[in-house]
Amino acid sequence: MIIVMEEGANHAQITMVTEKLIECGFEVHRSIGERHIIIGAIGAKTVDPREYEILPGVRDVIRITAPYKLVSRHFNPEGTIIRIKDVEIGGTEVIVMAGPCSVESEEQIEAVAEHVARHGAKILRGGAFKPRTSPYSFQGLGEAGLKMLRRAADKYGLLVVSELMESSQIPMFLHYVDIIQVGARNMQNFSLLKDLGRIKAPILLKRGPAATFEETLLSAEYLLSGGNGEVIICERGIKTFETYTRNTLDISAIPVFKKLSHLPVVADPSHGTGRRDKVSPMARAALAAGADGLLIEVHNSPENALSDGAQSLYPEQFEQLMHQLSLIAPAINRQLGFPPFSQDVAAGVRQRQDQAVRR
Ligand code: PEP
Ligand code: MN
């Protein structure tokens, strides 16, 4: 149940509602919106909403029938904006997180960081602990990789997002990253979600490869109910019968998550397609569909990448994509800060794309 207070409801009125809910055995969460204070009551109890509707200062009482409560759009109708240093995720600006699949060396992460920062990315991505299907594949550089990622990001004024695999890594991640990524495979690792719910750090929660919208939102609910409200949902493609693409990027998930929840939503067309030639079209589509941000894999030498080379953009492709995104954003009342695009790069990208199609 959610109780929306009148605009200008006073402290005594808010306290009265809160105390009544606690007395009835509810757990109470407050959300302070631009105009209204919203009080979320979590608990199995059923009460007559009129008992609350008649209290002074109460504007509306809404019963939430969905199993997720705190992530529900009702709880924060204006939408959540996550502020990290000077970056706002969920505001009018579309935030691009870009970088290699894995951090491989100081030189590699530096080169990619410099390029993506110059072309408008705000957040540097890179895995240091990699969830690989095969135990024989490159598993990541571990803490050394996180150090390289942080150093490169700081040098070019970027924030850092990286994937954490287990609870024991939380203190290490709090030291190096600005956003902790929970990978698709860990979306329903409920003990990990409980531990991450207890900390104060933004979480990028990827949708599981076979998770429904409701299951995804319930995973986010674990984080919010634990007390961590800074959650970004990421659509990264789901398993379908199709084999041409690695996963099927579910573009419809973007407007659905935005409607059902107040949390910011980003899309990952790199894992969503698994093919470099399909990343830019799907990134453009995701932006047009209302994504608050994009997660894009970029590598300075994709042919030599230790993971996900086939889906990593060449640097010039990233520059061209950012230019295209900056043209789409105003059509849907969004912004994407991007410096002017050079003709030389356009020619280079066309050449690379021709080669990529032939490959
Ligand atoms: C990644 O971002 O590199 C990754 C492994 O993503 P996912 O969990 O979506 O597969
Ligand atoms: Mn990857």
What is the token pair recorded at 235? 């659509």
Question: Does the beta carbon of 208 lie inside 6 Å of ligand 1?
Answer: no
With contact defined as beta carbons under 8 Å apart, do 42 and 31 qualify?
A: no
Strand-strand pairing, 179-182 and 203-206:
parallel
In angstroms, what is the span from residue 309 Cα to ligand 2's centroid? 8
The mean pLDDT value of the chain amounts to 94
Q: What is the pLDDT of residue 44?
A: 79
Q: Give the pLDDT of residue 350.
A: 59
Separation of CA 338 and ligand 1 centre (Å): 26
User: Which ligand is nearest the CA of 309, by number?
Assistant: 2
Compute, in angstroms, the gap from residue 285 CA to the centroid of ligand 1.
20
Say which DSSP state 298 is in.
B
Q: How far apart are CA 248 and CA 146, in angstroms?
A: 30
For residues 47 and 55, what is the distance between their CA atoms, to the nearest angstrom? 14
Pairing label, strands 123-125, 27-32: unpaired
Tell me what pLDDT residue 65 has: 87
With beta carbons less than 8 A apart as the criterion, state whether 180 and 164 touch: yes
Rounded to whole angstroms, the Cα distance separating 118 from 298 reads: 13
Q: Separation of 172 CA from ligand 2 center, angstroms?
A: 21
- Of all protein residues, the one whose alpha carbon is nearest to atom 1 of ligand 1 is 101
The residue written with tokens 């640097």 in the block is: 315
CB-based contacts of 46, cutoff 8 Å, min separation 6: none
Give me the pLDDT at residue 355, please: 61
Name which of 273, 218, 290 is nearest 72 in CA terms.
Answer: 218
Task: Determine whether the shortest distance from the Cβ of 100 to ligand 1 is under 6 A.
Answer: no
Give 99's contacts (C-beta < 8 A, 6+ positions apart). Answer: 109, 112, 113, 116, 121, 124, 125, 126, 149, 297, 298
pLDDT tens digits for range 29-45:
999 888 899 999 998 78
6: exposed, middle or buried (C-beta count within 10 Å: 0-12, 13-18, 19+)? middle
Q: Provide the pLDDT for residue 45.
A: 80
Model pLDDT, residue 201: 98
First to last CA, the chain: 55
How many Å separate Cα 143 from the centre of its chain?
Answer: 23
pLDDT of residue 345: 57
Q: What's the sign of the alpha-carbon dihedral 211, 222, 134, 164? A: positive
DSSP string, 305-320: -SS-GGGPBPHHHHHH
Q: Which atom of ligand 1 is nearest to the CA of 307?
A: 3
Amino acid sitting at position 271: H
- pLDDT on residue 311: 98
Sorted by sequence, the CB contacts under 8 Å of residue 159 that are 6+ apart come out as 84, 85, 87, 122, 123, 124, 153, 178, 179
Tell me if 288 sits within 8 A of 299, measured CB to CB.
no
- pLDDT for residue 154: 98
Residues of the chain with pLDDT under 50: 341, 357-359
pLDDT, position 126:
98
Distance in Å, CA 138 to ligand 2 centroid: 12
Q: Is 50 exposed, middle or buried (0-12, 13-18, 19+ CB in 10 A)?
A: exposed
Q: Is the CB of 246 under 6 A from ligand 1?
A: no
pLDDT value at residue 33: 84
